[in-house]
Amino acid sequence: MLRHLPSCCAAAIVAVTSLTSHAQPGNRDVPLPQSMRFCAYWCFTLVQKGDHYDAYRDDSMDGKVASTYRVRSFSRDSVMMDREDTGGNKAVLTGRIAASGNSIEAGKITWVVGANGTVAPYQLTWGDAIGTAIPITLTHGFGGALLAPSSVITPPQDIHFCALNCMTLSLRGDHYTVTSPSPVGLESYRTEWKIERFSPEAVRLRRHFTQTPPGVSRPDTVFSGQVSADGNRLINITQDGNPVGGVMMTWGLSLAQIPGSNQERDKDLRRAGISSPSNDASMLFLLMGLAAFSSMDGDTGSSGSKVPGQALHYACDPSGQQGCNQIPNGATAEEWYKKPE
């Protein structure tokens, strides 16, 4: 969606032409478009302004510039752009132009100031394809392949959930409860997450508020999605039937790939030199996805083994207490599930 954009942005999306009157990078065999669409955790419209692009976030309410992009090279063999956010974080975007001529493939964004060294994929589109870029969590979800329908899977004991807040959900019979510390300002809220379905084809959890401050009511929310091929993540997530790009859920061997509380999240961010995570959630996403994305092939986006060079296979706890997970080849289910976590 491209709502809340200033009029200059809407006009730029309609007419995408090459630029001839402004300074151009030296390494260029493809005309620079007047506007492009960038998506990682959230999506931005990039509008050319003189020797750079100004980026406007899709859901911006004030229409202010969120970051600037300066093109170093823009050719079929190599694309390189420098990004600087208004908050001071800096990154370098690399990739190459796809055969279609209106998008980037093998795109990677590397942060050089703020979360130094963090690398994640991104999408960049223009021309006829400008509207096709979507948040990376909708396309990958830390790996887009789905678990085979014939697989056996049961609700895991613990799930890490991250959206605006991060928390740990622990299994209590037919539902999950939040067992991590309450986020600051939300101490008066309590929730249960009813398991409506948990199968290889689909997962559906209904969040119900069992406690709210006096006079406050909150409706139920249903989070749905599909299980990733490794059996440890929820992908293609929807909230009340609508696709969302800012929700992540992991368990099993992938449990620690995202924080289990705001305290864990903020500790990771402070370690990376980011003091205000709520003001830069895209940086939070990059940090949370680092472990998963570091094992992704840059050209295909396919997931690799969590342990480099170690082959895994899918197996379930014979007792049924710990669910099903990927375990190293050579290990039996009986041996693996006896090991302390």
Span between the terminal Cα atoms of the chain, in Å? 42
CA 276 to CA 116: how far, in whole Å? 16
Give the single-character DSSP code of 38: E
Q: Which residue has the tokens 């019979």?
A: 173
Contact call for residues 105 and 98 (beta carbons, < 8 A): yes
Query: What type of residue is 68?
Result: T
Q: Is 341 exposed, middle or buried (0-12, 13-18, 19+ CB in 10 A)?
A: exposed
- For the chain, which residues score pLDDT lower than 50? 1-26, 139-143, 276-314, 323-326, 340-341
> What six digits make up the tokens of 54?
């100004």
Per-residue confidence (pLDDT) for residue 271, from 0 to 100: 61
- Looking at residue 269, its pLDDT comes to 66
pLDDT (tens digit per residue) in 92-144: 999 999 888 999 988 888 888 865 666 777 889 999 988 877 766 554 444 46
pLDDT at residue 310, rounded to an integer: 42
- DSSP structural state of residue 288: H
Which pLDDT belongs to residue 296?
Answer: 31
Tokens of 151: 């697989």
- pLDDT at res. 288: 45
Output phi, psi for 331, to 5 deg.
-100, 135
**What values do phi and psi take at 73, rounded to 5?**
-145, 150
As a whole number of angstroms, the distance between CA 10 and CA 2 comes to: 8
Helices (H), 30-140: 136-139
Domain ranges of the chain: 7-134, 158-287
315 forms bridges with which residues in the sheet? 325
Q: Cβ distance 56 to 63 under 8 Å?
A: yes
The whole-number pLDDT of residue 228 equals: 83
Q: Say if residue 232 is exposed, middle or buried (CB neighbours under 10 Å; 0-12, 13-18, 19+).
A: buried
Record: fold of 7-134: Lipocalin (2.40.128)
Spell out a b/e string for 297-319, using b for 16 or more CB atoms within 10 Å of the CB, else e: eeeebebeebeeeeebebbbbee
Residue 292 confidence (pLDDT): 35
pLDDT in tens, 10-19: 333 333 333 3
Q: What is the DSSP letter of 31?
A: P
Look at the block and give the residue holding tokens 């991104």. 122
153 within 8 A of 227, measured Cβ to Cβ = yes
Predicted pLDDT of residue 180 = 94
